[in-house]
Structure 1
Amino acid sequence: MRERFATIDYHTAGEPFRIVPDLGIAIDGDDVASKRVFAAASPEVDRARRLLCFEPRGHADMYGGFIVEPDDAGAHLGVLFWHKDGFSTACGHGTIALGVWAIESGLVTADESGTTDVVIDVPSGRVTARVRTDQAGTVTGADFINVPGYVLARRVPVQTSRGEVLADITFAGAIYAQVDATAVGLSIEPEDVSEVIAFGREVKWLLNDSAHAEHPSDRRLNGIYGTILYSDHSADGVVHQRNATVFADGELDRSPCGSGTCARVATLTEEGILPVGGELVHDSIVGSRFLARVVAEGVEAGHRATTTQVSGIAHKTGEHVFEVDPRDEMTPGFVLR
């Protein structure tokens, strides 16, 4: 008997998102955060992740999610985000894709007003995909409204192979280190991709186990999830940056990174660079774009916190039924990074 896994694939600003509506494997836990812990420790669930993420069915930069029950009736669905190295706590581009999928699949009925909130429980909390549709019901855009983000540490000195750099550490569903790429002679351009990945990976592991990477209230959120290397292109009062987010262990986000964009908004707001009510124009290494702004402010764990809305769009790329031949010696697959 061959195993079969059905998926619906989207991309958000170039970054893939593979949706698995029915994994067919029980994932236990009282809430989505607990389900993530269970999934990471389950050989059966983790094998499914590797089958769908690793080559030959995926690749080193594949990303996706297993649909699970939400924490309670206040959300439409829950999701466990995954990548080549495990299960992540947050994913903005995935949230946008899930919102679009929920409307396009009929899982959530589009509101006649043209704006529909798809509420999703993720390991870091409850988030919203606010999906916009035209009079014909066609999706025209989607906003990711994240959990509150806040700066954990400013200008942390890090000794790297390229010399000392200063990193800002910010939580926005996951913890990100942010470094000015130009300070180490890197550009956020495809021709620098190998060096960008190598340096982003280096900074992550140098900071991952430090006190700066500790979440103030939930140790399950500890650790540097990604390094955001950025360059500033602001002009004429427009805050405009380009970034490459290197997350997990060397994955490069093709989108401007949804939760990473929220981290940049929190940092730029704290620095006074992004004014209240202002908009961040945030581009990726492949030239795709998110627009982001603060929609609420507050205090979290003693830190000034911002709730950020990130605007983008996701597009369906296909539907798949992946099979596993029991004679296949390459199961569950491999990655080359």
Structure 2
Amino acid sequence: MLSRANPYRTPGCDHSGTQGQRPPRFTIGDNPDVVTKLSVLGARGIFPNSADLRQGQFGGQWSSYTTTSGCVLATRSKYMSSTTIDLGPKSMVFGKVIHVVGVHAAGEVCDVVVGGVLDVPGKTMYEKMMHLWKKADRLRQLLLNEPRGSSAMCHNMILPACNPEADAGFITMEHEEYPPMSGANAIATATVLLETGMVPMLEPTTHVKLDTAAGLVAMEAECSGGKCTSVRFHNVPAFVFELDLEVSVPGLGIVKVDIAWGGMIYALVDASSVGLHIKSENGAKLVEVGEKIKRAVQEQSDPVHPENPGIRGVSILEFTEPLTDDGHHKSAVNTVVVSPGRLDRSPCGTGTCARLAVLHARGLLAPGDSFIHRSVIGTEFVGSITGTTTVGKYPAVLPTVQGSAWITSFKQVVLHPSDPFPEGFRVGDVWQM
């Protein structure tokens, strides 16, 4: 087994005498002589280790300090309601300092919160997700709304796992909901865990398990040279609620939709059936029509997950194009309409799983077949069915999806007590109001 790199080392610095030593824990501002250099923190210099995650210690405020050689190490103190960051002769006081790793999975922005947030109550990740949604939703609003966020992004929060088999728990935050599971976000989160040293990386393959609101998700990450080159996740079973459901849509008439579960409850619609083609230049029209169909489906259909009655109703719509087969791979183009009104830039992991279930139910895809799913920008996920099972009364498939993610930034999101927008805002020019 490969030894784990010291997560408290900063690349390019002389750590003589510090190897293997855990830095002392204190809060920025406790020592007036400390000069912090947040901008030069290395990837492995600001994140906790996997033991902290498993012991439930993660979620505290992360700080940094300089060694005598001028290198920056990291330490974590208990989250404080007000944190002072000493940047020289003047100090700034913020009510919140949230540490985020910027990352995209196949083009979809899936940033990951790695510090500055405490764990939340709940015996399962589903209970934690619902606590955030019903009692602590201001964090999602702060991160995703303007001026800190945008309409084309998601955020993920790493929390201690509830399932003892898991390496970490994570919860995805989108603009209108907390989805029980998101494939692109799972790929992004696993990439961050491994590339920052929060979970030890083993080459060529690292096995990671994530605890999600939909259940335990096992993953295999292909790794080389410190980079997580691809991640394949084994999702919860996917199944079809109904094929060819006829829905009356204002302005469109009767539209046939398939209702399927892939980690979220999807309405899948053949784009050509409503006169559309999945292209970037058609994005605004796809969003407009997709939201209209989704609202009609929500009014006329109420699917309930057979194992969790709290998960009910269609929350997302997927436009599809016909399956093609070149003799080597079966492939198709799709795009998912994410509320309040944008297109998923990735092929969508849970959307791919829902599509696998539909294709299998129609006899178009068998276990072992490779299926390439392409997004509106041409990026790809590779899906397959490893077996079949049942969920309640529904025949189901065991789906896997493989894709890649890339870290784009390390940043601190702050909120000053005097900021007039503690929950951000939205404007109707780019947000579908």
Question: TM-score, with normalisation over the residues of structure 2?
Answer: 0.74
| Residue of structure 2 equivalent to 1:315 | 406
Structure 1 residue aligned with 2:388: 297
Quote the offset at 1:249 in angstroms. 3.2
The correspondence for 1:9, drawn from 98, 102, 108, is 102
Pair 1:274-2:360 in alignment: no
Structure 1 residue 204 displacement after superposition: 1.6
- Partner of residue 129, structure 2: 36
Q: Is the 8 A contact 1:95 1:128 kept in 2?
A: no
**201-210 vs 260-269, which moves further:** 201-210
| Counterpart position of 1:324 | 415
Give, in whole Å, the separation in 1 of the partners of 2:364 and 2:223.
33
Aligned to 2:256: 166
Paired residues, number = 333
- Contact map agreement 1:70 1:77 (CA 8 A) in 2: yes
Contact 1:13 1:256 in 2 (8 A): yes
Aligned counterparts of 1:62 and 1:7: Cα–Cα separation in 2: 13
AA matched with 1:158: V
Instruction: Write the deviation string for residues 279-336 of structure 1: whole angstroms up to 9, x where unpaired.
Output: 1111111111111101221111122111111111000010111121222223321123
Tell me the SS of whatever aligns to 2:340: coil
Alpha carbons of structure 1 residues 297 and 311: separation in structure 2 relative to 1, 3 Å: same
SS in 1 for 2:367: coil
- Whole-Å Cα distance in 2 between the matches of residues 5 and 315 of structure 1? 20
Residue 147 of structure 1 pairs with residue 147 of structure 2 = no
Greater CA drift, 297-306 or 201-210: 201-210
Bigger Cα displacement from structure 2, 70-79 vs 263-272: 70-79
| % same residue | 29
Find the aligned partners of 1:32 and 1:56 in 2 and give their Cα distance. Answer: 29
CA distance in 2, matches of 1:296, 1:119: 20
2:118 aligned with 1:21, yes or no?
A: no
Q: Note closer, same or farther for the CA distance 1:26–1:110 as it changes in structure 2 (3 Å cut).
A: closer
**How far apart, in 2, do the equivalents of 1:293 and 1:170 lie?**
16
More strand by share: 1
Q: Secondary structure at the match of 1:19?
A: strand
Q: Which residue of 2 aligns with 1:214?
A: 304
Does the CA-based 8 Å contact 1:61-1:84 persist in structure 2?
Answer: no
Question: Larger relative contact order (C-alpha < 8 A, sep ≥ 6)?
Answer: 1
Cα distance in 1 for partners of 2:228, 2:307 equals 37
- Whether 1:230 aligns to 2:230 is no
Contact 1:95–1:129, Cα closer than 8 Å, also in 2: no
Does structure 2 conserve the Cα–Cα contact (< 8 Å) formed by 1:177 and 1:224? yes
- Secondary structure of 1:205's partner? helix
Between Structure 1 and Structure 2, whose CA radius of gyration is higher? 2
Q: TM-score, normalised by structure 1?
A: 0.94
Taking the aligned partners of 1:329 and 1:142, their CA distance within structure 2 comes to 40
Question: What letter matches 1:166 in structure 2?
Answer: K
Shift of residue 19, structure 1, vs aligned partner: 0.8
What's the counterpart of residue 115 of structure 1? 205
Structure 2 match to 1:241 = 332
Q: Is the 8 A contact 2:333 2:373 kept in 1?
A: yes
Question: What's the RMSD between the two structures over aligned residues?
Answer: 1.5
Q: 2-side partners of 1:33 and 1:233: how far apart?
A: 34
In terms of fraction of residues, the more helix-rich structure is: 1
Q: Tell whether the 8 Å contact from 2:302 to 2:312 is kept in structure 1 after alignment.
A: no
SS in 1 for 2:359: helix
State the shift of 1:198 in Å.
Answer: 1.1
2:283 aligned partner: 193
Aligned partners of 2:115 and 2:299: how far apart in 1? Answer: 35
Question: Residue 335 of structure 2 aligns to a residue in which SS?
Answer: strand
Segments of structure 2 that go 5 or more residues without pairing to the other structure are 1-92
Moved more, 101-110 or 5-14: 101-110
Among candidates 75, 82, 101, match of residue 173 of structure 2:
82
- Cα distance change, pair 84–294 in 1 and its aligned pair in 2 (3 A): same
| Partner Cα distance (1:128, 1:269) in 2 | 22
Letter in 2 for 1:143: R
8 A contact 1:11–1:17 mirrored in 2: yes
Listed one character per residue, the Cα deviations across residues 88-123 of structure 1 (whole Å, up to 9, x for unaligned) are 1110001001111111111222234x1112101111
Q: Which residue of 1 aligns with 2:216?
A: 126
The letter of the residue matching 2:398 is T
Q: CA deviation at 1:60?
A: 1.4
Deviation at 1:141, TM superposition (A): 1.0
Residues in 1 aligned to 2:413 and 2:115: alpha-carbon distance in whole angstroms: 13
* Stretches of structure 1 lacking an aligned partner (at least 5 in a row): none
Distance 2:360 2:182 in 1: 21
Residue 53 of structure 1 aligns with which residue? 144
Contact 2:316–2:338, Cα closer than 8 Å, also in 1: yes
- C-alpha contact 2:367 2:387 (8 A) present in aligned 1: no
Residue number among 343, 349, 373 corresponding to 1:252 in the alignment: 343
C-alpha separation in 2, matches of 1:270 and 1:111: 38
2:7 aligned residue = none
Deviation at 1:212, TM superposition (A): 4.4
Could you list the per-position Cα deviations for residues 56-76 of structure 1 after superposition, in whole angstroms to 9, with x for gaps in the alignment?
111112201111121222001
Preserved contact between residue 55 and residue 334 of structure 1 (Cα < 8 Å): yes
Alpha-carbon separation, structure 2, partners of 1:226 and 1:159 = 17
